[in-house]
Each structure stands twice: as C-alpha cells, then as structure tokens.
Amino acid sequence: TPYERLLPAPASARAEGPGYPVGAATVIRTGPAAGAEVRRVAELLAGQLRGTSGLPLPVDHGRAGDGIRLRIDARAGGLGEEGYRLDSGPRGVTLTARTPAGLFHAGQTLRQLLPVSGPGTVPGGRITDAPRFAYRGAMLDIARHFFTVDQAKRYVDQLAQYKVNTLHLHLTDDQGWRIAIDSWPRLAEYGGGTEVGGGPGGHWTKDRYRDLVAYAAERYVDVVPEIDMPGHVNAALASYPELNCDGKAPERYTGTKVGFSSLCVGKERTYEFVDDVLGELAALTPGRYLHIGGDEAHSTPAADYAAFMDRAQAVVARHGKTVVAWHQLASARPAPGAVLQYWGHDRTAAAEKAAVAAAAKAGHPLVLSPADRLYLDMKYDTATKQGLAWAGYVPVRRSYEWDPGSYLPDVPETAVLGVEAPLWTETIATRADLEFMAFPRVLSLAELGWSPAARDWGAYSGRLAAHAARLDAQGIAFHRAPDVPWEE
C-alpha cells in the first residue's frame, strides 16, 4: 500500500477501511478560525497538489464539509513542534497538528499518498508521526562553484517534501565570497569573481539572500549561513590587503587545496571585519544559528586558533545568535551552547572523537555529518565521474545503514541535535551534477533524521525504489544505485 512506501517512514501508520477519492469536486478547507499561517500552508499545499493532479482544488477558509481539512489542535498529544496526524476515510482527509509546521509536513505526506500524476484515492487509515531529531539538514557549498538563488530554491523544494528542515549555506571559501557585505563591498565584488577552475563565479545580493530565506521559511526550512574562519579565507584576503599580517593581498585562488590561508589573528582590524560581516549576516537571517566554520585552519597555530575562536564566538553572541562550528572547535574553547558539527569518518583519530564526546558531555549539542556516510560529494563507486573519495566511496546503502543515536563513542542520543548531509562543490558545477550526487543519498539523511531508529536496508530500498517515478517527474536525474530494485 502507499502507506508502506512513505519516505521518511512515519512513526506509526495503519491502513484500514475505504479511502477518499480526490477529484474535481475536492475542496481544501481550513475552517473560519484558521490563522494566516495555516491559510498560507493550505494555499501552498493546493498549489503542490494541483501541479501533479491537474485538479482545481479550491481553498475554502469558511465552511466545514468533505475534502482535505487542515486543523490546528494545540492539545494534540505526542506530536511536538513538527509532528502531525493524518486521518483518511470516505468523507475526506483530516490533517491535524499543533503547529503550522506540522500541517506542512502532513501535507508532504499526503502528496506521497496520491499518484505522481493525475487524480487518485488517498487510502483509508491513520498516520501519527513526529521526528526523531529536531535538526535535519543539508549543506550546499556555493563558494567552490557558484550556484544561483533559483538553484538553491529548487533544492529547498526537493528537501522540504522529505521533511528536511535546515539548509546550511557555505557562503565563503578560498575560491569565492558569495554574499554582499555593505561595509566591505570588495568581498563580493572582487572576492566573488572567481571559482574552482577559473570560472566567473558570482555572488548573491542581500535582497536575493533575503528572498531565499523567506522562500525556505515558507516551507519550514531554516537557513544557517556559514562564513568559514579563521582558515578558508583566501577570497577575503585577496579582496582586502589589511586582513593580511603583511598588508599584502594574495592572488585570487581557483584550485582545490585546503589549509593554506588564515586571517591575521593578532590584528584588531581582523575583529572589526568579523564583527561587520557577522553583524550584517545576523541581521539578514531570522534563524537562531550562525556557522563560523573553524575547520582545517592548518595555517593558524593552535593557541592563535583558540584565541580567535573565543572572540568570533563572542561576536556571534553579541548579535543574538547561537554558534555552529565544525567539530575542530572542540579542541579550543566552545562557548556555552555552541553546536558542534562532526565531519569525521571511520579513520578519524580516537583522540579527536574523544574531544567531541567531551564537548557533548559538557552540554554542546552535536550535528552529525560523518564524511563516509553523509558527504554527498563522495563518489558512489569507482565509476562515479563527479566527486571525491578521500573518505572512501559512499554507496547508497552505506549512507543509510548507521544509527546517529549510537554512532560516536560515549555520545548518548540525547546529545545529538540531528544530522546533516553536506555537498561540497569542488567537482560539482551544474544543477545536474548537484542532483545526481545528492539523490538518492539525501533521502537516507531525511529518514535518519525523521524516522524511528530501526534500520532495515531491505525495507528501505523497496520504499526508495518506489520514489523513482516521483524523482523522475521532478526532473531529478538521480543515481540509479544497482542494489536498489528501482520501479520503472
């Protein structure tokens, strides 16, 4: 049944009795007491369902009646901030949640219960569902190769339909600076003018960034912007000589090496730069997190790194945000409440893992992005044209068969905020490349983040196979992994 094909798997689903045929007379209803946000969710769902069914699906904010009904129930038990209940019978489908976000997720489940194209019947039954982890993210690196806001919006739509709720944007690196900063205009104008391989690069204006943030928020996806520091900063150093200890700007960089650049930790001008950039970014970003990178700072001595991160974290707090940083921050002094993003792999040193476990024990939430499980830029196998393989090959099965709750030694599930699948773009230059590398592995991420902990590859691969037609209909040229029984 369609209940057995849902992805991510719901916490509880029971098919029973006759279903509801969605047809030309179907109305989407919110009821007269619905707030503006619920009405907006209803209109968005109507647009999504019209696009595949070809039906009129008017939205009625007044009368009760048969149809697809959206209702908020603040007393609904066990649903939390993002959960929902879906009840389907001959008179209609009722979506119930405590929040509009829950109703949005319910709507995405409803989409999967209907055919990929044309009208159909929602099978009778009940789903009660809520996520395992609060943070379910995907990262897009627009610094190594430039991607447009429209390309990022398309990715948001693809992710949100599978209940991914965070888009982490890697906005700056050695090869390019992609966000306009008014107080330091050459960062984007000059530092944004290149990319890996020497292409033209590009950058987002503040208005375009705001537009993406609003678009994502309408789909209950939070944007987490990242300005990587104190390493990965050649684009900034090339734009402003005074950010260099010797006052001389290096050439812009179009290669793929890492670890060679560093902000000048001893200069006060460096901290004015950090304050200006993070301040402008905080003002553009309604979400709670600012990501300050902190990885691969090989050109910054350890004591300098710790001193710099102390000050950078204080800047984030001053601008009212919570720090996220790569797990190397564990070797310095993570500020209270700072979130650490772990990107190690099987061969990561035990001491490094122990430092992360100690940070978790001290109260720092972890986002898990193990490179040999969730890095979407790792090759699937030897035949994959794009991507890298420094963490090994990551076939679809490997991306799925692990448990975030018990993954790191001495880290309890309660310390895990969630999971994120990063897509670094050293070798990824087009939308087709991006989608081939992300899909279907980003669906493993969606299920790891949302669904209860049981991990059965056989059951999952069967459900994944059923989504081929859905991905095809959206024009996603995904990797047809040989060990998945794809349905044509």
Is the model's pLDDT at 77 over the cut of 90? Answer: no
Is the model's pLDDT at 1 over the cut of 90? Answer: no
Percent of the chain with pLDDT over 90: 97
CATH topology of domain 2-129: Chitobiase; domain 2 (3.30.379)
81-103 pLDDT, tens digit each: 999 999 999 999 999 999 999 99
Question: What is the length of the chain?
Answer: 488
Please state whether the predicted TM-score (pTM) of the whole model is above 0.85.
Answer: yes
Residues 111-135: what's their mean pLDDT?
Answer: 97
Is the model's pLDDT at 39 over the cut of 90? Answer: yes
Q: What is the 3-state secondary structure (H, E, C) of 178-208?
A: CECCCCCCHHHHCCCCCCHHHCCCCCECHHH
CA–CA separation, 435 vs 452, rounded Å?
A: 26
Residues 262-287: what's their mean pLDDT?
Answer: 98
Percent of the chain with pLDDT over 70: 100
Enzyme catalytic residues:
296
| Helical residues (DSSP H) of 70-119, grouped into ranges | 100-113
194-239 pLDDT, tens digit each: 999 999 999 999 999 999 999 999 999 999 999 999 999 999 999 9
Answer yes or no: are the C-beta atoms of 165 and 445 closer than 8 Å. Answer: no
CATH dotted code for 135-454: 3.20.20.80
Is the model's pLDDT at 31 over the cut of 90? Answer: no
CA–CA separation, 277 vs 271, rounded Å?
A: 10
Give the confidence band of 32 by pLDDT, cuts at 50, 70, 90. Answer: confident
Is the model's pLDDT at 14 over the cut of 90? Answer: yes
Task: List all residues 6 or more positions away from 52 whose beta carbon is below 8 Å from its beta carbon.
Answer: 111, 114, 115, 116, 117, 118, 473
Residues 309-331: what's their mean pLDDT?
Answer: 98
Answer yes or no: are the C-beta atoms of 228 and 293 closer than 8 Å. Answer: yes
Task: List all residues 6 or more positions away from 44 whose beta carbon is below 8 Å from its beta carbon.
Answer: 104, 107, 218, 219
Give the confidence band of 36 by pLDDT, cuts at 50, 70, 90. Answer: very high
Q: State residue 371's pLDDT score.
A: 98
381-427 pLDDT, tens digit each: 999 999 999 999 999 999 999 999 999 999 999 999 999 999 999 99
Give the confidence band of 55 by pLDDT, cuts at 50, 70, 90. Answer: very high
The DSSP call for residue 319 is T
Residues 288-297: what's their mean pLDDT?
Answer: 98
Q: Which residues pair with 421 in a beta bridge?
A: 138
Tell me the chain's radius of gyration from C-alpha atoms. 23
Residue 350, both tokens? 């035990």
The SS3 of residue 162 is coil
H or E element that contains 433? helix 431-438
432-457 pLDDT, tens digit each: 999 999 999 999 999 999 999 978 99
Domain layout of the chain by residue ranges: 2-129, 135-454
- Report the interhelical angle of 457-465 vs 441-450 (nearest 10°): 120
Dihedral angle over CA of 350, 355, 358, 360, nearest 10: -100
| Helical residues (DSSP H) of 362-409, grouped into ranges | 371-374, 396-400
